[in-house]
Amino acid sequence: MIGVMYPFRTPPVIWAAPGAAAQLPDEARRLGATRALLVSDRGLLATGTPERLQRMLEGAGVRCAVYADVMAEPSAEWLDPVVEQVKAHQADLVVAVGGGSAIDVAKATAVLAANGGTAYDYFGVDRVPRPGLPVIAMPTTAGTGAEATPNAIFTNTRTQVKEGIVSPYMMPAVAIVDPELTLTAPPGVTAATGMDALTHAVESFTSVKAAPTTDLFAAEAIRRIGRSIRTAVFRGGDLAARTDMALGSLYAGIAICNAGTGAVHAMAYPLGGQFRVPHGIANASLLPHVLPWNLQGSVEKFAQVARLLGEPVDGLSALAAAERAVAAIQRLCADLGIPSRLSAFGVREEHIPAMAAAAHATRRLMDNNPRNLTVEEVEAIYRSAL
């Protein structure tokens, strides 16, 4: 937005390359850690990754306990037992290893352990009073970019809508992005999380808060994800493609940290809260339906998206090029098998008014959208997606 300034934030330290996981012990020591809680999930536990990282920390003199019961799409109440584990272990460092859910749980746990209370006390923007324990975030999926954001998203079980804790104190102290950690992600997870990252990149690139600094990261994320997501999904052992996706997710995370997201994310929250649709799938399913509406609000930017995706747009008008971007993303979702109809999740016509009202009320996101949407227009988008 012309004439408006926003701060630019990233994690203080970022390691991003194949083999970067080896930096974990040194970073833990640099932070002065003596006792760490490693937060992960049972699916990842079966791969042996948390145990390997635990041994690395123990070998560096950092006593490490493992909490591996994080559920996908956690509710606010799921933080309480993790906070208890932090206190019982007397941890002075939290290490997050996993997808967005594990990283969000770790970030919120670190804040709650130091500030007290529950997640409900901190839902919203800038409501955390003091820094938490330091967090080292190590993503094993290329999607949420949670290793580079000051946000953590949980289901508010009182309202059945997802809400965020947003604070600079939620930013990880260190992000370690090792594409080798993503090699075990199955095709479905790779597709859903990859489209989540692309949604982040496109929404931040076209956000009203976009700036030259955020555009650098968003554009590079679009370029890398666009050229590599199909390979990563259908030939998951390709390390070059996995590296593109890991870096694309990281860059998109940096972009949304500073430029924010828009209507896709706002409309995804009721899907996740009420119908338990995984966040990446919710975003990916809605993206093809929201983009045709948003295109008119940022034609030049969407024309650039088409170029970044490798679409042949030479000689086309800006509007025609922008339409190519929308068509390319719709085709990509179809190629990856992303559900295109909300009815597949149990959404019916009678659910739409309440969903639209909840999405429209999420002003933190809707105010970033390149096109102002009325609640009636949000309803129309949901109906087009049924």
Strands of 85-139 (E only): list them.
93-98, 124-125, 135-139
More confident residue, 73 or 264: 264
Query: d(Cα 146, Cα 151) in Å, to the nearest integer?
Result: 7
pLDDT tens digits, 328-364 = 999 999 999 999 899 999 999 999 999 999 999 999 9
Distance separating alpha carbons of residues 380 and 20, to the nearest angstrom:
45
Average the pLDDT over 261-275 and give the result.
94
Predicted confidence at residue 4, as pLDDT, reads: 66
Helix axis angle for 212-234 and 239-259, nearest 10°, is 150
Using the CB atoms, write b or e for 225-249: b if 16+ within 10 Å: bbebbeebbeebeeeebbbbbbbbb
- What's the average model confidence in pLDDT over 122-150? 97
Percent of residues, the chain, with pLDDT higher than 70? 99
Q: Is the model more confident about 45 or about 5?
A: 45
Overall average pLDDT of the 246-265 stretch: 97
pLDDT digits (tens, 9 = 90+) for 156-208: 999 888 889 999 999 999 999 999 999 999 999 999 999 999 999 999 999 99
pLDDT surpassing 90 at residue 2: no
Answer yes or no: is pLDDT of 104 > 70.
Answer: yes
DSSP state of 168: G
* CA-closest candidate to residue 153, choices 372, 382, 362, 366: 362
Least Cα distance to 147 among 249, 43, 65, 219 occurs for: 249
CB 169 within 8 Å of CB 124 = no
The reported pLDDT for the residue numbered 169 is: 97
> Among 336, 247, 234, 320, which Cα is nearest to 283's?
336
CA dist., res. 306 & res. 290, Å (int): 16
CATH of 187-385 given 3.40.50.1820, 1.10.940.10, 1.10.486.10, 1.20.1090.10: 1.20.1090.10
pLDDT value at 325 more than 50:
yes
Percentage of residues in the chain having pLDDT higher than 90: 92
Residue 70 DSSP label: P
Residue showing tokens 């309803």: 379
Q: Above 70 in pLDDT, residue 36?
A: yes
Domain boundaries, the chain: 13-182, 187-385
The string of DSSP letters for 338-363 reads ----GGGGT--GGGHHHHHHHHHT-H
Fold held by 13-182 = Rossmann fold (3.40.50)
Position 29 scores a pLDDT of 97
What pLDDT score does 1 carry? 47
Express each pLDDT in 205-235 by its tens digit: 999 999 999 999 999 999 999 999 999 999 9
Could you please report the per-residue DSSP string of 262-312? -HHHHHHHHHHHHH---HHHHHHHHHHHHHHHHGGG-HHHHHHHHHHTT--
Given its phi and psi angles, is residue 126 left (phi above 0), alpha (psi -120 to 50 degrees) or beta? left
d(CA 60, CA 241): 32
* H helix or E strand, kind and range, residue 155: strand 151-156
Q: What is the residue-averaged pLDDT of the chain?
A: 95
Report pLDDT digits (tens) over 279-299. Answer: 889 999 999 999 999 999 999
